[in-house]
Amino acid sequence: MAEFTEKQKRRNNIVIFKVAEPDQNKSLEKQKVIDKNTVSAILNTVAPDLPTTNIKPIRLGASAESKIRPIKVILENETTVSSVLKNSNSNFKQIIVAADRTKRRDKWSTIKKLSKNSMIESTTVMLTLLTSE
């Protein structure tokens, strides 16, 4: 039941990976403005009709010099999320746009990738990952 609730909360979110961090010497407010402008530019590229005035990008995790944190973006609805995800894969080489997944769903995605990309028995991988919760 908690998994379902968590999935419902995340269904209107996307996560953008590999977007460079704003200069750490700038104020937190300026960093937020830079992130908002960057995310708006990304969204305008993949979904030009999408209004970006009300978006609020949120950097996930603690700030660290050697780490680029992903950005969570809350969109209006699932249809918008679907449109952005569908169009994002062909538009970017460095940036990755993905659905906001629960930990369990993310593990399942890892299982599928491992079983596709190698000869590892998928049931063994699945059991290992699911029991490590």
Which band of pLDDT confidence, cut at 50, 70 and 90, is reported for residue 10?
confident
54, 43 contact by CB (below 8 A): no
For the stretch 30-58, pLDDT in tens is 999 999 999 999 999 988 888 888 888 99
Q: What's the N-to-C CA distance of the chain in angstroms?
A: 16
Question: The pTM is what?
Answer: 0.72
pLDDT value at position 5?
72
pLDDT value at position 100?
81
Per DSSP, the residues of 1-40 read -HHHHHHHHHTTEEEEESPPPPPTTS-HHHHHHHHHHHHH
For the stretch 77-127, pLDDT in tens is 888 888 888 888 777 778 888 888 766 555 545 545 555 555 445 455 555
pLDDT value at position 94?
84
pLDDT at position 59 over 80: yes
